[in-house]
Amino acid sequence: MLEPLNPDSWDSEGNLVVPLHGIRIALGVSLLAAGAFFWFAYLGDKRWHEQHPGDSGAFVTPLWLSMLWIALPLVPFIISALLLSTRSEQSKVAGAGIAAGLFTAGFLFAAAALGGMFFLSFSPDPYVLQDLTAVVVFLGCTVWILISAFRIGKSSWGVFFMTLVATLICLTLGSHAWEATRYNLDRQHELQKGQAAIELFDPVEQAQHALASLAGCLILNQSQHPQSGYPSSLASPPPDWSCETKFAEKLVREYTLSYLPVTEASGRVADFHLLAMPVKVIRGHFPLMVDGRGILFSDAMWGYSKPYIKAATTDGRFSEIREVERNIDNYMKQYALADAPQALSSEVIGKTYSFQVPSIQEDGQRLEIKNYAFHYLVSKTGNRSRFALSVQCQSYGKDCLRSYFLDRNRTLHATGQPREATADDPIALDCEESDLPCKDVVWPAS
């Protein structure tokens, strides 16, 4: 025997009334699931940053912007829940429409999060099981909410779809505005970081320029007066002193500069050390030293670990001499040439360089870049496959101190004097062309 129909299950127009407790429960559970997902995602991100300490200056989303991101879905969620709790059928339909729009977007977000767990995860997540559970529960609630919302919306499709579309539009515009705001804040943060980096490294660059300028002047004076050697002190410079750069008090901000003569047994000053020491230990501020070789050294790990001495200004790399050599070799291999080209051309020197492509002058016998001039020396007799390259510093004491000569055996020679290098000059240090540590460099005691 059929049970009598419950009159409370039908409205005044004869439409079946959909129970609201199911959608309300689903809304509550979905809120808990979403909250759990974001909580465990936050814990996982926090754990990763603790295990991989990276850039401490990375952009962090401001609290107010995070609150707006939370409010974006939470506001329509609350409005929907309130409307579904009213007695007005039209209000309930409007609440269902808002819920349908909100959880349509939520379904797409959850599906994307689920796909990211399986296909876009590049590191192990300690909370992957909790995240997966929360997403699955949220998806289940979403499906039930959408089904219930459409059943409620039958009584007034116009109101239902109007609120559904309005909700989707508001969510889309709100998310775009939020992303644009975050992008602009991130850009401002990067600009501030860049300016801070410039300010941080400005004393280092000033110290480099001060040492290079004075070292260049010292070496130039010594090359003009080789018998006199270097001065024993810069506090009272000799009468023939011609250098413009002096160690004025507080010449370089946050650095102390000093001159240390290297004296022979005879009393003659045969070499020198110019030293720039940071006033205090700051990441990015490191000691600098230059001697009569014209190589500017730095202790990159000063104050943090054992000494790591390297060439602070790698003239060998900036000179592009190895790039010219490599490109000429590649040209000869490409065309199977037994003899080296008698002159250089744009095709011969190529276009693959770390910094600048040299310009060709003097019928292919001379090349130029900003701070260096090349001379190409090809064998006229004997083994004509060999060639030599000379590159001389053109802005001595300002942007460079070293000149180089690549002999026909591909050995690189170098000099810190203001002249062309030759095969009689010492072999260049390995660290002049790379970031490798410099060997056998004695750091002077200040």
Give tens-digit pLDDT for 218-246: 898 888 877 778 888 877 766 666 665 45
pLDDT-derived band at 380 (thresholds 50, 70, 90) equals: confident
Helix (H, G, I), strand (E, B) or coil at 277: strand
Closest CA to 418 of 445, 398, 446, 444: 398
Q: pLDDT tens digits for 3-49?
A: 444 444 445 554 445 567 778 899 999 999 999 988 888 888 777 76
pLDDT-derived band at 266 (thresholds 50, 70, 90) equals: confident
* Beta-carbon contacts of residue 300 (< 8 Å; ≥ 6 apart): 286, 308, 310
The whole-angstrom separation of Cα 8 and Cα 21 is: 15
Q: Which of 193-207, 305-319, 409-423 has the highest mean pLDDT?
A: 409-423
- pLDDT at 326 exceeding the cut of 90: yes
Taking each helix axis from N to C end, the angle separating 157-224 and 63-84, rounded to the nearest 10 degrees, works out to 170
Average pLDDT, the chain: 85
Stretch 397-401: mean pLDDT, rounded? 88
Query: What's phi and psi for 235, nearest 5 deg?
Result: -65, -40
pLDDT score, position 349: 95
- pLDDT at 174 exceeding the cut of 80: yes
Residue scoring higher pLDDT (281 or 173): 173
pLDDT score, position 16: 46
Percent of the chain with pLDDT over 70: 89
